[in-house]
């Protein structure tokens, strides 16, 4: 009996090819960012936990050779950095409040995980991707 061997290399390459890059305008110029799902999982997990240096590194990988020119285009403050990162994750295909890293980790679970944050009350638990805020800034629900 012959069993077909699953080729993860080929399957992953095919999945990456489906993920479209994202175009963003910044400093009166268009930039092309690769899909965030194509980045290193550990890096995205650190970024999901609000690590600003990980967010910056993810953007650097996403922009590739364009990164130096992107940084030189104009000053990138923390607000612009987090807005860009959150929108990039959303455009890459993550569900609202879910990073590519968390959607990958959820695939292997037998049942859906319970959300750690509903958005309706203040919580000390980890905030979802769409709510990365600078240190000391609290989320206020409306």
Note the pLDDT tens digit of each residue in 60-71.
999 999 999 998
| Sequence ranges of the domains in the chain | 15-101+126-131
As a dihedral over the C-alpha atoms of residue 40, residue 45, residue 47, residue 53, rounded to 10 degrees, the angle is: -70
What is the Cα gyration radius of the chain?
17
Q: Which residues pair with 101 in a beta bridge?
A: none
What pLDDT shows up at residue 6? Answer: 95
- Can you list the alpha helix ranges (DSSP code H) found in the chain? 8-18, 41-48, 52-63, 67-73, 78-91, 100-107
Q: Is the pLDDT of residue 76 over 50?
A: yes
What pLDDT shows up at residue 119? Answer: 43
* pLDDT above 90: percentage of residues in the chain: 30
Q: Is the pLDDT of residue 117 over 60?
A: no
Q: Which long-range contacts (CB under 8 A, 24 or more apart) does 52-58 make?
A: 52/78, 52/81, 55/81, 55/82, 55/85, 55/132, 56/81, 58/85
Q: 102: which 2 tokens? A: 């968390």
Window from 56-60, 61-65, 99-103 with minimum mean pLDDT: 99-103
What pLDDT shows up at residue 100? Answer: 58
pLDDT top residue among 134 and 58: 58
pTM above 0.75, yes or no: no
């Amino acid at each position: 009996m012959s069993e077909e061997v699953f080729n993860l290399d080929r399957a992953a390459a095919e999945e990456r090819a489906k993920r479209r890059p994202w175009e963003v305008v910044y400093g009166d110029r268009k930039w092309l960012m690769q899909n965030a799902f194509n980045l290193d999982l550990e890096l995205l997990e650190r970024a999901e936990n609000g690590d600003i240096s990980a967010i910056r590194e993810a953007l650097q990988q996403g922009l590739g050779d364009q990164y130096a020119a992107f940084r030189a285009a104009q000053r990138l403050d923390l607000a612009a950095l987090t807005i860009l990162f959150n929108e990039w994750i959303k455009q890459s295909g993550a569900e609202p409040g879910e990073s590519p890293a968390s959607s990958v980790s959820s695939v292997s679970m037998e049942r859906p995980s319970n959300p750690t944050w509903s958005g309706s009350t203040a919580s000390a638990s980890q905030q979802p991707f769409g709510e990365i805020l600078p240190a000391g800034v609290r989320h206020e629900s409306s």
